[in-house]
Structure 1
Amino acid sequence: MSDAQPRDDEGAARLAAQRKAWNDAHPTYYAEYRERNREDIRRKNRERERDRAQREREEKARRQKGIDRARAWAAEHPEERQQARERYKQKHPETYKQAQRDYYYRNRDAIAERRRAREAADPEKANEARRRAVDRARAAGRDPAWSPTPDQRATYRERENEARRLRRRRARAGLPERRLHRVLAPERRHNDAAADAFFAQKRSGEDIARIRNQDEPTPPDLVRALQERSENRRVVREILAIAEEYFADHEVELRARVAEVSRTRFRGGMLPLDVYTEPRRHALEFASRGYFRTCAASPTSSMTVFRWLTTDLAKRGPDITL
């Protein structure tokens, strides 16, 4: 065997050298042959392609026939089909997984499109299915134990601190809390589809006129009800209730303190305090402690607070002296 191998290699090399020498001696032979037999070559190529296409059609029909037969059998015997699949999975686990992966990569676009359509049709059902899948993964021990890096922790902490600062600034400015919330992708796609369908709808002249007629002034009763339910007014009512109770219990003490400070200021050449509104202002400051919306209870932002502070101005009398 070892002696025959060198002889075969030598023979192959000798034939290759002879072929190369012949090609070098006849450089135009193949071009002339193709030119002389062009029609015959084309005819043979067409016949070969027809035979190949026919074989492909027959093979495709044979496979489709087998698929239809398998589907019909599976529809008639669902339990046996499931048992056969389980046996195959147990006997060839790696082959089955590879087949599943191959099918996914071949049809990933169609699979993603079907999933998006299914989730958009029923977002709640899709969310519930996702939660069940997560629960099954955790029960099977497939939940990855992930922990953020120190840099990620610092980034998360900075975001949380910034969110808290923003909430405090909004509260001090008397603005309502942020009501935006995140939604999952299926629900977002469902909302986008509903919005597109709404705005793409063609409306007649009667519909447009009916919509325009709906733009009427808000009834005064409804405006008053909305104002009563507003957050700022609720805070103002709570603060004023506490301030009124505190002022009633400590009125004498507050007035005496304000009078003493006013006398000291007057002796020092400064203007005295307003002995009518200053005691109530101290009570208002005490009642505002612990509230984020303290600016809502300021005299410049609420007429109700201003009226409460100036209640004693109409009761001016000679008994209040410096």
Structure 2
Amino acid sequence: MKRENAARYYAAHADEVKQRKREKYWADHEKSLADQRRYRAREKWRRANGLPPQRLHRVTGTERKTNLAAAEAFFTRARTAEEITRLRNERGTPRYLIDQFERANARDRAAAHYAESVNRGDGRLEQQLRPTRAERKAMARADEEARMDAVAAAINDRLRTQPKAPARSMPVAGPQPPTASARPGRSR
């Protein structure tokens, strides 16, 4: 009924409806362009991920009630033993897909929990993940030492003229005390 009335009105007032749409478009041209860009990006993403295009339409109250009644009848219907056996014997979803789905859900729940804690403002989760001042200093010191070691190794490799000597197996002793000279009066 509503669709029929809308179609009749549009047939009688097509020029006025088109003019109102044009005026609305040009009243906020940038917003209209941004909406178009978002729509195109969303549809491109859907196609790239193998999803059908999004096609939403309004449903009248009577259609909605009919659809809900049909869904209720389908999902609450008692199944016979043969139907249940047939459904169980049909080829199911592969285990690796179920595992992927469960991992993705766990990641999404963790991300939602984190976002919720950040938005809540209490920052408990963020505080737990944030390193302490001492840990930050230790990480910065370790990073700087690693950077300096890399620089020293690069300089050493560039300036080396002889191949590296094999590593010594004996530990190097500390400095030796000076020995007495064989000739008196002279020391080196």
Structure number with bigger Rg: 1
What is the TM-score of this pair, normalised by structure 2?
0.34
What is the TM-score of this pair, normalised by structure 1?
0.22
Which protein has greater RCO, CA pairs closer than 8 Å, 6+ apart?
A: 1
| Greater helix share, structure number | 1
